[in-house]
């Protein structure tokens, strides 16, 4: 088959994408995949809702009127705009009554009650856009918000000739979020109450939108190979492990990439001094600046400095830190943490720092620039996650020569090997403490081996090009299935 015929037209269907709207890692993936996919020969576009924060006056109108019929009696008038970013076309579905709101999914800690409608309409609009464009051959969907795309395609549009050959890939970025709603929403979404059974969208008395996508999508993937296995187990399957085991033949794991234009100490504008694997001297300046920023003593400069940047969420394993906080404080070193989220952990960290202001520094909040400075200035980066679909900070840490200490789960396990970091398996405070102590001991007793470890990590490449190559081959398999398989 000629290369030209292999060029696949991909539409990324996503509820968020950098640089337009972001609440989490999904936006990074959706915003970063386009350019390298294009280099791999895929013709890529992205479609997402036009939220309030996306300035309409900067967009180009494309389809002034794209009606979306949810049911026989209920339609939404949407229109489509576009913009280009790094050579990739972004389509925005505009429907002010659904998306012109202060936040993306939740407001003041509460989910918008009509989220099923907002993303049901968006999923249908994406399909209508694909039909209008006529070119997309793969709709690459993400998480529960767009999980209805494969459901609608395989049911309502099953006999629509223009869409008959369109394939779907559903990426799971975090199985913990499934889009659970009351039974009545099925009818409102035009899917029919008959789908309320355990073989379809029913899930313990609720409607589970992600489950629908997992059943109907042609291919499934998650954001790391280890997580793709873990979600097939009862421990991390969130009740969907049986279904995922059943579909394991179409499920794969592709580790997210890192945007090295933003995260590289050689040219990072946020840090006190730039440095590289060849010349590490700037890292000490970064450490000194970081200690000062947190009001920690200069005498800590020669001692191990542990860094943490995270959402303060129970997923991230902060209860382990709480459990052995006394032992961590007893280490002859210092610790800085940046995070926000669960008030319980915010209070824990604040109190910890207040009790030991000379060695524990804490900032509660979201501060991207400080996150860079912690990556650059720390010696050790701690990630004790209970589960971690992919995780980015461990990959940033490796590039910054900040040796990661991670729980061996999901993308942490995949990205960190023992020649470049420290891993612990059991989700206990003692297991974490013992890995931290190993790291601290090596740092203090064998600086030469420590530097070798740092350099090995710094040389590792997690660029998006590699991830995009793997996505390109999944698209290719979708479009040219192996007849013998």
Sites of contact with ligand ADP (CB under 6 A): 24-25, 309-311, 338-340, 366-368, 371, 390-393
Smallest distance from ligand ADP to CB 156, Å = 33
Q: Of the candidates 85, 83, 80, which has an alpha carbon nearest to the alpha carbon of residue 32?
A: 85
Q: Cis peptide leading into 66, omega within 30 of 0?
A: no
Smallest distance from ligand ADP to CB 384, Å = 13
Q: Of the candidates 287, 273, 301, 264, which has an alpha carbon nearest to the alpha carbon of residue 397?
A: 264
Which of 202, 346 has the CB closer to ligand ADP?
346
Smallest distance from ligand ADP to CB 203, Å = 23
Smallest distance from ligand ADP to CB 111, Å = 18
Q: What is the DSSP letter of 129?
A: H
Which of 340, 470 has the CB closer to ligand ADP?
340
Which of 9, 145 has the CB closer to ligand ADP?
145
Q: Count CB-CB contacts under 10 A for residue 470.
A: 16
Smallest distance from ligand ADP to CB 104, Å = 14
CA 31, CA 16: separation in Å to the nearest integer?
8
Helices first, then strands: H and E counts in the chain: 19, 20
Which of 160, 314 has the CB closer to ligand ADP?
314
* Spatial strand order in the sheet of 403-407: 360-364, 334-341, 305-312, 380-383, 403-407, 422-424
Q: Which residues contact 421 (CB under 8 A, 6 or more apart)?
A: 394, 397, 398, 403, 404, 405, 406, 453, 457
Smallest distance from ligand ADP to CB 340, Å = 5
Which of 82, 460 has the CB closer to ligand ADP?
460
Smallest distance from ligand ADP to CB 172, Å = 13
Q: How many alpha carbons fall within 13 Å on the CB side of residue 119?
A: 29
CB 333 within 8 A of CB 300: yes
């Amino acid at each position: 088959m000629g290369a030209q015929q292999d060029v696949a037209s991909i539409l990324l269907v996503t509820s968020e994408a950098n640089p337009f709207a972001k609440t989490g890692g999904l936006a990074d993936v959706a915003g970063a995949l386009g350019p390298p996919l294009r280099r791999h020969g895929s013709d890529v576009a992205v479609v997402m809702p036009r939220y309030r924060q996306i300035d309409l006056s900067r967009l180009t109108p494309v389809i002034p009127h794209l009606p979306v019929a949810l049911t026989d009696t209920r339609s939404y008038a949407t229109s489509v705009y576009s913009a280009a970013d790094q050579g990739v076309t972004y389509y925005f579905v505009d429907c002010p009554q659904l998306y012109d709101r202060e936040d993306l999914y939740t407001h003041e800690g509460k989910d918008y009650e009509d989220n099923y409608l907002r993303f049901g309409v968006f999923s249908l609009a994406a399909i209508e856009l694909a039909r209008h464009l006529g070119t997309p051959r793969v709709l690459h969907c993400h998480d529960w918000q767009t999980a209805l795309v494969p459901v609608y395609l395989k049911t309502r549009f099953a006999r629509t000739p223009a869409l008959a050959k369109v394939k779907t890939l559903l990426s799971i970025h975090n199985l913990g979020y499934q889009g659970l709603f009351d039974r009545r929403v099925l009818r409102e979404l035009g899917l029919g109450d008959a789908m309320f059974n355990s073989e379809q969208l029913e899930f313990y008395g609720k409607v589970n939108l992600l489950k629908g996508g997992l059943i109907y999508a042609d291919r499934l993937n998650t954001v790391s190979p280890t997580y793709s296995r873990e979600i097939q187990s009862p421990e991390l399957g969130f009740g969907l492990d049986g279904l995922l085991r059943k579909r394991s033949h179409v499920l794969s794991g592709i580790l997210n990439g890192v945007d090295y234009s933003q995260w590289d100490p050689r040219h990072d504008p946020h840090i006190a001094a730039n440095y590289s694997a060849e010349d590490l001297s700037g890292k000490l300046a970064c450490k000194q600046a970081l200690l000062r920023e947190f009001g920690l003593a200069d005498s800590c400069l020669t001692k191990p400095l542990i860094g943490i940047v995270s959402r303060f969420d129970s997923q991230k394993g902060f209860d382990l830190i709480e459990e052995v906080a006394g032992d961590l404080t007893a280490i002859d070193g210092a610790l800085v943490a940046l995070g926000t989220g669960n008030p319980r952990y915010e209070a824990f960290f604040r109190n910890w720092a207040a009790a030991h202001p000379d060695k524990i520094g804490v900032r509660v909040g979201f501060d991207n620039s400080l996150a860079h400075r912690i990556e650059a200035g720390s010696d050790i980066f701690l990630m004790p996650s209970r589960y971690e679909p992919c995780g980015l900070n461990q990959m940033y840490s490796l590039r910054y020569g900040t040796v990661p200490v991670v729980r061996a789960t999901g993308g942490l396990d995949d990205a960190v090997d023992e020649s470049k970091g420290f891993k612990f398996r059991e989700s206990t405070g003692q297991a974490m403490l013992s890995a931290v102590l190993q790291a601290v001991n090596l740092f203090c007793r064998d600086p030469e081996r420590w530097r070798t470890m740092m350099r090995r990590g710094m040389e590792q490449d997690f660029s998006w090009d590699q991830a995009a190559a793997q996505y390109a081959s999944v698209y290719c398999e979708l479009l040219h299935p192996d007849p013998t398989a």
